Amino acid sequence: MGETGGPRARGRPRSERARAAVLDAATGLLVSGGVQAVTMEAIAARARVSKSTVYKWWPTRGHVMLDSLAHAAGDALAAPAGDGSLAGDLAAEVGALVRAFRDTAAGPLVADIVAAAQADPDVRAALDERWVRPRRAACARLLDDAVARGVLRPDTDVPAAVDQLFAPVYHRLLFGHAALADGLAPTLVRQLLDGLGAGRGRPDEDR
């Protein structure tokens, strides 16, 4: 549902220019001046938009960042497309996240939104629903199918497994204790699927 194709709304239409300017301004302020620089007043000033207009559409700084995230990195993560194997598809998903965090504004944006989410349950819910859940679901589907096909152990805790693939990426983004290297995604997938235990021989490429 929605107003697609329906009768045009009555009054003055919302300015798409203003919307884009606000989201661009927020992203620009964040990457240049850090989190401190992104205030509602600075966003309005940089976007050359009235402060009232910003508050009209976004109740909170966190909500602006949330939309900025979709606006900035919406397509960079659309279709990760692996090679069809379980390990390849999983590595594609995780690798897309690593690259988005490292090479685009999505990294600082997500870090800032997570910080805002600790103070605002509304932001937390929106972050989960609009960002985290879709990616987790795609990964969980791959794992569920593999369990159903007997490729993975039937007692697999899929939510925990998804965390073991994705959480390290978020963890390194937020804590900065280690780099988001290119090899990280395949390493995480390999260690989880094959296990760390020695002396068992790898099942070659039967998956």
Cα(41)–Cα(185) distance, integer angstroms: 39
Neighbours of 45 (CB within 10 A): 13
**Of 49 and 162, which CB lies nearer to a copy of itself in the complex structure?**
162
**Of 9 and 78, which CB lies nearer to DNA in the complex structure?**
9
Q: What is the largest CA-CA distance in the chain?
A: 72
Q: Pick the binder of a copy of itself from 29, 171, 204, 205 (CB under 8 A).
A: 171
Stretch touching DNA by CB under 7 A, among 49-57, 78-86, 101-109, 137-145: 49-57
Considering only residues 85-144, where is the footprint of a copy of itself by CB under 8 A?
A: 111-112, 114-119, 124, 127-128, 132-133, 136, 143
Q: Which burial class, exposed, middle or buried, applies to 13 when counting CB atoms under 10 A from its CB (0-12, 13-18, 19+)?
A: exposed
Dihedral angle sign, alpha carbons of residues 136, 138, 144, 150? negative
**Of 53 and 104, which CB lies nearer to DNA in the complex structure?**
53
Identify the helix (H) or strand (E) that includes residue 27. helix 16-33
> Does residue number 41 form part of the binding site for DNA (CB under 7 A)?
yes
Identify the helix (H) or strand (E) that includes residue 107. helix 106-117
Considering only residues 54-93, where is the footprint of DNA by CB under 7 A?
A: 55-57, 60-61
Interaction site with a copy of itself (CB under 8 A)? 34-36, 111-112, 114-119, 124, 127-128, 132-133, 136, 143, 146, 150-154, 156-157, 159-161, 163-164, 166-168, 170-172, 174-178, 184, 187-188, 191-200, 203, 207
